[in-house]
Copies of this chain bind each other. A is one copy, B any other.
């Protein structure tokens, strides 16, 4: 049995609570089991230098983890004076994933920054960040449409992410920390509600895996993200 008692294809309880941040244009606190990430969307009326004057907008992300989000205290990146390779990798991934479902030309010369800060960690923080950040982004965009800054939403679809992995029990969906730290392989799937693939990152932690194993991980990811798309729509109050 899985450490959590879940079925192989069962994801953890997901909750997406809007409005946790008082000041952000959009924000949610997303919970995937014991993983809790505060996602905020901040809108600024300008774009980075490399985009200036092109009439296009930008969506980017930053990621952080509170020092005691984890079992033992990790050192604070601000105190160490630099972001780890892992942090940079994750925040680049979040930004890319969201840009895949935003029409940047329709956004216009604006930047939306998604901050994903992990308050409690129990595996899958980058996936929860993407799933939550999409809702925070949607809330911020809704406000821009309501206040007529934008005529229509530049968001072209939903995007959500899930990690699946190969464990002693076989392929399982939505790894928690206990599974993640011992899995033979793990894969992050960032998928759209329209069935598209935005990003796949599959890594053999111990030994190489097969095409069949990879296909099974992908199947679990489709199932799992279907549940996440529902949760996103529920948080936004859309059908």
Contact = CB atoms under 8 A, between A and B. Distances in A.
Interface in A67-96: 67-73, 76-79, 81-83, 85-89, 91-92, 96
A70 B42 CA distance: 11
A200 interface: yes
Contact of A210 (B70, B115, B197): B197
Contacts of A20: 119
A120 interface: yes
A27 B197 contact: no
A217 to B, nearest CB: 10
Interface stretch (A6-14, A48-56, A201-209, A224-232): A201-209
Contact of A68 (B76, B115, B120): B115
A64 B115 CA distance: 14
Given A22-B34, A38-B119, A200 B197 contact: no
Interface residues of A, number: 68
30 contacts: A21-B119, A22-B34, A23-B72, A38-B66, A40-B68, A42-B72, A44-B73, A62-B67, A62-B79, A64-B66, A68-B115, A76-B115, A78-B78, A78-B82, A78-B83, A100-B207, A100-B208, A156-B207, A194-B208, A195-B210, A195-B211, A196-B207, A197-B210, A197-B214, A198-B208, A199-B202, A199-B203, A200-B200, A200-B214, A211-B218
